[in-house]
Each structure stands twice: as C-alpha cells, then as structure tokens.
C-alpha cells in the first residue's frame, strides 16, 4: 500500500487533510456546515461544465465554487443564511444537471467526482493541490484573529471595527478554494465529512482555540490515513471510511462533552423540568 504509484495519493490526501482540519475548525465555529456541504456538492456542476467545453476540471470547480460563494453571500444579505445556501446549492446542481444532459461521455466520471478517486491521483495533480492548499492556509492565518472574534461574537467584532460581512465573504471564498482543491481528491460529497468531523471532536477536548485547531488537523490526518489504508485493504470506496471516521470523531466529542457536562451539572434535566411552569 506504500507502493510507488500510491505516493501521489498519500501526498495529496495529506495536503487535503491539513487544509480540511484548518478550514473545518472555523466552519464548525461559525456554524457554516451547510455552506461547507453546498459548495463542494454544487461545484461538481463546474466540473461537468468544464468537461462539456473541454476545459480543465479544476478550473471549472474553481469558477463554480467561487460563484457559489458569491451567490450565498449575495442572497444572504436579504434572507436567512440557510435559505440562501439551499437556493444556491439547488441552482448549482440544476446547472450541473443541464451540463450533464449535454454530454454523454461524462456519466462514468460522476462517481469519481462525487466520491473521490483518491487511489488514482496523478503526480500532476499534487502540485496544484499543494498550491491552492497553501493559499487557503495562508488566508486563514492572515485572517485568524478577526475571523476568530467574528465567529465567536459577531457583535463584539463589529464594535471593534471588524467588517463582519467581509469576514463572511472571505471565509466563503476559503471554503470555495478548499472545494476546488479537495473535490478531485476525495470527492464533492466526502470532503464535507472531513471538514466537520475532526473539528467537531477537537473543540470538545480543549478550551484553547489554537490547540483545537491543531487537534482538528491531527484528527483529519488520522481520518484520511486510516481511510486510505482501509480502502486499500478492503477494496471498498474510500468515501465510506471517511464518512464513518467523521461520525466516530463527532461521537467521541459528543461523549466527551456529555461526560464533562454531567460532571459539572449532575441533574440538568430535572432542574429544567422543575423550572417549567405547569400546564395551565
């Protein structure tokens, strides 16, 4: 499984995991899970469109995920964020459907784009993956403090002179870049598990933001490494293992939080019941 032809796989997957861990930390902190699902899922339409006109897949993914980010931000000014995101993903997928209907050659590649073809990464793919990854990590590091403050307390950030709308948009652009980079490697549906599972667990184990960020990266790395190995050994699709490890991390975090909460407030349920006014 460490054979020569798999070196690219390990490299690309490791890069994706690091970026997913970093970006995912803020996705979970900002409650942007829906956007983190919508952009990769909808951007697959871009890949379909690129194939249709004979352009580079990465270019198609990039254009579509950035357009999706802009649409979410634009619609989000006048509507709830979740409604804006739902409408965006629907519009993106519908255009994907249109592109697919124009081409007959595309169908076999759909599975790979949706669920990833991590075992078939070429060496030519590693360089663009690494380049976009570097941009993502740099963007998050540059914005780290205002992004952190506007994620945990938007009104405080506003009062401190931070343009929270700009932060929203900037972060959507980061998700779009992560999408562009990760979809060809792990697929548009499964990058999502990688983006939210590890950070969801990480925040339960530490109270310090930088430590949580680091832990999130570590767990994401574990996820992909375990998934590649398992996929190689069992010959089952890697997406299954990525989804499963994501759920395991989340569950671990949940158990840990419940345990800590139980230790702090032994009888929360009863107290709540007692506080409730009787039916009148």
Partner 1 sequence: MPSPSAAVTASLAPVFEPGFFSSGPVHVALAVGGIVAIVSAAVGVFTVIRGQSFAGHSLADIGTAGGSAAVWAGVSTIFGLVAFNVVAAGVMELIGIRRPRGRDLATGIVLGASLGLAALFLYEDTISSSTTGATVTVLFGSIFTLAPGTTTIVAVLGAVSIALLALLYRPLLLSSLSYDLAAARGIPVRLVGGGFLLALALAVSLSAVTIGAILSTALLIGPAAVAERLTRRPARAIAVAAAVGIGSVWIGTLIAYDSTVWLGGESLPVSFCIVGLVFVAYLASGLIARALPERRLERRPGARDALALPEVD
Partner 2 sequence: MGSDADASRPSPPIGAPSATNTVLELDDVSVSLGGRTVLEDVSFSLEAGEFCGLIGSNGAGKTTLLRLVLGLVTPARGTVRTPLGGRGPKIGYVPQKISLEPDMPLRARDLVALGLDGHRLGPGRRGPAQRAAVDEMLEAVGAARFAEARVGNLSGGEQQRVMIAHALISRPRLLLLDEPLANLDIRAGQEVVRLLAHIAAEQHIGILLSAHDMNPLLPVMDRILYLAAGRAVSGSTDEVVSTETLSRLYGQRVEVIRTHGRVIVVAGTDAADPTHDF
Binding site for partner 2 (CB under 8 A): 29, 141-146, 148-149, 152-153, 155-162, 202-204, 206-212, 257, 264
Binding window for partner 1 (CB under 8 A); candidates: 5-13, 90-98, 141-149, 205-213? 90-98
For tokens 């969801």, name the residue: 200
Taking a C-beta distance cutoff of 8 angstroms, is the pair 89, 41 a contact? Answer: yes
**Shorter beta-carbon distance to partner 1: residue 101 or 122:** 101
**Shorter beta-carbon distance to partner 2: residue 3 or 269:** 269
127: CB partners within 8 A, 6+ apart: none
**Min. distance of Cβ 272 from partner 2 in angstroms?**
15
DSSP string, 65-84: HHHHHHHHHHHHTTS-HHHH
* Dist CA 115 CA 53 (whole Å): 23
Q: What is the four-CA torsion angle of 16, 17, 21, 22, rounded to 10 degrees?
A: -40
**Shorter beta-carbon distance to partner 2: residue 45 or 202:** 202
Taking CA atoms, 86 is separated from 36, 70, 157, 266, in Å, by: 12, 14, 27, 39
Helices (H), the chain: 7-30, 33-53, 57-76, 81-102, 107-115, 123-142, 144-152, 154-159, 164-186, 191-205, 209-234, 238-264, 268-275
* Dist CA 209 CA 114 (whole Å): 32
Site for partner 1 in 184-203 (CB under 8 A): 187, 189-190, 192-193, 196-197, 200
Q: Which does 247 bind (CB under 5 to 8 A by kind): partner 2, partner 1, none?
A: partner 1
Binding window for partner 1 (CB under 8 A); candidates: 33-41, 136-144, 173-181, 205-213? 33-41
Could you give the string, one character per residue 212-241, with x where binding to partner 1 holds by CB under 8 A and - elsewhere? Answer: ------------------------xxxxxx
For tokens 């871009």, name the residue: 46
Q: Which does 262 bind (CB under 5 to 8 A by kind): partner 2, partner 1, none?
A: none
**Min. distance of Cβ 37 from partner 2 in angstroms?**
19
Q: Decide: is 54 part of the binding site for partner 1 (CB under 8 A).
A: no
Catalog residues that contact partner 1 under the rule CB under 8 A.
Answer: 28, 30-31, 33-34, 36-38, 41, 77-80, 82-83, 85-87, 89-91, 93-95, 97-98, 100-102, 107-108, 110-111, 114-115, 187, 189-190, 192-193, 196-197, 200, 236-244, 246-247, 250, 254, 276-280
């Amino acid at each position: 499984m460490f054979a020569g032809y798999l070196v690219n796989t390990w490299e690309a997957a490791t890069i994706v995991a690091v970026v997913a861990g970093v970006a995912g930390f803020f996705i979970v902190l900002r409650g942007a899970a829906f956007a983190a699902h919508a952009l990769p899922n909808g951007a697959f339409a871009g890949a379909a469109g690129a194939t249709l006109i004979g352009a580079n897949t990465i270019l198609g993914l990039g254009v579509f995920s950035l357009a999706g980010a802009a649409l979410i931000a634009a619609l989000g000014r006048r509507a709830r964020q979740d409604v804006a995101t739902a409408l965006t993903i629907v519009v993106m997928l519908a255009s994907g459907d249109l592109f697919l209907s124009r081409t007959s050659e595309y169908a076999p590649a759909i599975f790979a784009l949706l669920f990833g073809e991590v075992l078939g990464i070429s060496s030519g793919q590693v360089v663009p993956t690494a380049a976009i990854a570097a941009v993502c990590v740099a963007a998050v590091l540059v914005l780290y403090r205002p992004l952190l403050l506007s994620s945990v307390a938007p009104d405080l950030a506003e009062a401190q002179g931070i343009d929270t709308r700009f932060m929203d948009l900037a972060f959507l652009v980061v998700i779009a870049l992560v999408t562009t980079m990760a979809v060809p490697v792990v697929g548009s549906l499964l990058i999502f598990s990688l983006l939210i599972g590890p950070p969801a667990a990480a925040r339960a184990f530490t109270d310090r933001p930088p430590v949580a960020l680091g832990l999130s990266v570590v767990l994401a790395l574990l996820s992909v490494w375990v998934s590649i190995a398992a996929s190689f050994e069992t010959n089952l699709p890697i997406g299954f293992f990525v989804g499963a490890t994501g759920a395991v991390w989340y569950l671990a975090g949940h158990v840990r939080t419940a345990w800590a909460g139980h230790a702090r407030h032994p009888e929360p349920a009863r107290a709540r019941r007692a506080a409730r006014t009787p039916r009148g």
